[in-house]
Amino acid sequence: MRGPHNLIRLIRTGATFERTGAMDAVLEGLSAPWQLRALVRTLGWPFKWLGLRGDPALPPVVRAITALGPAYIKFGQILSTRPDIVGEDMAQQLKYLQDQLPPFPTEVARQMVAEELGQPVDTLFADFSEPVAAASIAQVHKARLADDGRLVAVKVLRPGIERAFRKDIDAFYFAAGLFELFLPSTRRLRPLDVVAHFEGVVMAELDLRLEASSASEFVANIGTEDGIQAPEPLWRLSGRNVLTMGWAEGINLADLSALDRAGIDRVALGGKVLQVFLSHALRDGFFHGDMHQGNLKAAPNGDLIIFDFGIMGRIDAYTRRVYAEILYGFIRRDYRRVAEVHFEAGYVPADRDVEAFAMALRAVGEPIFGMEANRISMAKLLAYLFEVTERFGMETRTELILLQRTMVVVEGVARSLDANINIWQVAKPVVEGYIRSHVGPIALARDLADTIKVLARFGPKLPKLVEDVLIAQTNRPEPPAPRGLGWPLTLVGAAALLGLGLWAGLMLG
């Protein structure tokens, strides 16, 4: 229930950060001004006793987040990939959240597997290990199939995880409502819609049958693509609470020293992470939406191994073109075209000045090209970009939230592998390839062919449609002073439509 009782939960969130000592670390990492620090100290101290204690063995920020629940953990995972925003020390602490959380007992996991699959674990698996990784939603066990001896990963949801997530999301809805009520300026960001989007993503992640389906589609999209691997799901050993997939052997991308010892080219691997995300988002419109280091490994031959398909994103063909043109405009430093694309797509209200918007975008983009990658402050860049969107009345596009969030995470992973990576240079071949095949004469011809196919499906209905048009025109009162061809043009248009449909039917039949 999204009632006032959630106010207590929000107060407890701040109090938990205060009690665990995480508040100071957060304010320091975000370089908060002294005025904000004083305000937080004043408001937080009286409620400190309400805060959750957490695990004293953990660093303060991790201790607070793990105590508060899975939704907070998911947010911490995102920040763990952005040392340029939260600071190197905090980012290192937050990496604990990716796959090192406390596991639940193996016996509980075995019981859940047996109940889900309808057979005892010892019948299905020759070996079933202790947890090898534990994250916010599930934990993974390494097992060996009893029938053919293959190594597999068995993912099991945490007991009671759905109820815990719903409590967190309920509080988020309440907080979003307060923002919209008391801070009207935040309404353009549509906080309630953002939370609703987050809820949809999380609820889908809690059904492992959907993850199995996503993994199957992702593997099919990869095909014979060089340099990428992804484990396939085993449908007969999967269900709502259990997912069994092929075992992926490799080095976690967070273990930089292990990558170096194995002779993995981290520069090439960083570029591959970014290019894989962009190519799948643009080419397929279906991309991995949780590409932090905990879900990525490097194979001994340098291949990128991608797993954990609980959060996947989709974008339609039109949005992919808009996204590609915006990226391409930034790469070419054509800020006027970037501005025009925003207006054409309706991202910026039509009554705003396109030239002024282009100038503001130049102020966002030029610093990226004008300095070395390791000197770019993404925190300052994002802060200025936020100011630009507010100034020009841009609303949050909920359909792009996951895409934008994943882009931030992917860039963070790439930078962790290569601090000097030039994201625009790495993205250029992928975006240019998409532009060549999807924007221009070739794309126009393909769109016309698709249109003809659609019209051909309506071939049998076209005579009736033309008849209805003619009857409607015949029964329409005559205009007092006809100035154009009107009715004859309508007839010609209907005849042309009929002819086009018949031609398409013959060509495609």
Judged by average pLDDT, the poorest of 4-13, 118-127, 145-154, 354-363 is 4-13
* d(C-alpha 116, C-alpha 110), whole Å: 10
258 with 344, same domain: the answer is yes
* d(C-alpha 380, C-alpha 374), whole Å: 14
271 with 402, same domain: the answer is yes
Percent of the chain with pLDDT over 90: 24
Give whole-number Cα distances, 328 to 61, 69, 195, 234, in Å.
Answer: 38, 40, 30, 40
Task: Summarize pLDDT for 414-426 with one digit per residue, the tens.
Answer: 988 998 888 778 8
- The residue ranking higher by pLDDT, 506 or 62, is 62
* d(C-alpha 414, C-alpha 120), whole Å: 42
pLDDT at 383: 56
38 with 175, same domain: the answer is no
260 with 327, same domain: the answer is yes
| Sign of the torsion formed by the C-alpha atoms of 180, 183, 187 and 192 | negative
Give the burial class of 244: count Cβ atoms within 10 A of its Cβ; 0-12 exposed, 13-18 middle, 19 or more buried: buried
Give me the chain's average pLDDT, please.
Answer: 79
Name the residue among 236, 235, 31, 43 with its Cα closest to residue 18.
43
Structural contact between residues 396 and 188, judged by C-beta atoms closer than 8 angstroms? yes
Amino acid (one-letter) located at 481: A
pLDDT at 243: 96
pLDDT at 336: 92
Q: Which of 99, 125, 151 is the last residue of a domain?
A: 99
Structural contact between residues 395 and 190, judged by C-beta atoms closer than 8 angstroms? yes
* d(C-alpha 14, C-alpha 47), whole Å: 8
352 with 498, same domain: the answer is no
* d(C-alpha 136, C-alpha 100), whole Å: 9
Cα 144 from chain centre: 32
What are residue 166's phi and psi, to 5 degrees? Answer: -60, -35
* Residue 398 banded pLDDT, cuts 50, 70, 90: low
The token pair that represents 251 in the structure block: 């080095």
409 with 468, same domain: the answer is no
pLDDT at 141: 96
Question: In this model, does residue 377 exceed pLDDT 70?
Answer: no
187 with 277, same domain: the answer is no
* Residue 496 banded pLDDT, cuts 50, 70, 90: very low
Question: In this model, does residue 143 exceed pLDDT 90?
Answer: yes
Structural contact between residues 418 and 267, judged by C-beta atoms closer than 8 angstroms? yes
DSSP state at residue 283:
I
Q: What is the mean pLDDT of residues 307-312?
A: 87
Question: In this model, does residue 342 exceed pLDDT 80?
Answer: yes
353 with 410, same domain: the answer is yes
Residue 492: give the domain boundaries. Answer: 442-508
Give me the catalytic one of 290, 303, 308, 418: 290
pLDDT at 502: 38
191 with 257, same domain: the answer is no
186 with 258, same domain: the answer is no
pLDDT at 42: 65
394 with 308, same domain: the answer is yes
Which is it for strands 312-314 and 242-246: parallel, antiparallel or unpaired?
unpaired
Q: How many domains does the chain have?
A: 4
DSSP labels for 332-367?
A: HT-HHHHHHHHHHTTSS-TTS-HHHHHHHHHHHHHH
Torsion angle, alpha carbons of 458, 461, 462, 466, to 10: -140
Question: In this model, does residue 226 exceed pLDDT 60?
Answer: yes
290 is catalytic: yes
* d(C-alpha 458, C-alpha 464), whole Å: 10
- The residue ranking higher by pLDDT, 375 or 304, is 304
CA angle (298, 299, 305) in 5-degree steps: 60
pTM over 0.75: no
pLDDT at 494: 38
56 with 171, same domain: the answer is no
pLDDT at 205: 81
Name the residue among 257, 304, 321, 310 with its Cα closest to residue 288.
310
Structural contact between residues 299 and 265, judged by C-beta atoms closer than 8 angstroms? no
Q: Which of 71, 99, 127 is the last residue of a domain?
A: 99
pLDDT at 297: 94
pLDDT at 108: 96
Percent of the chain with pLDDT over 70: 75
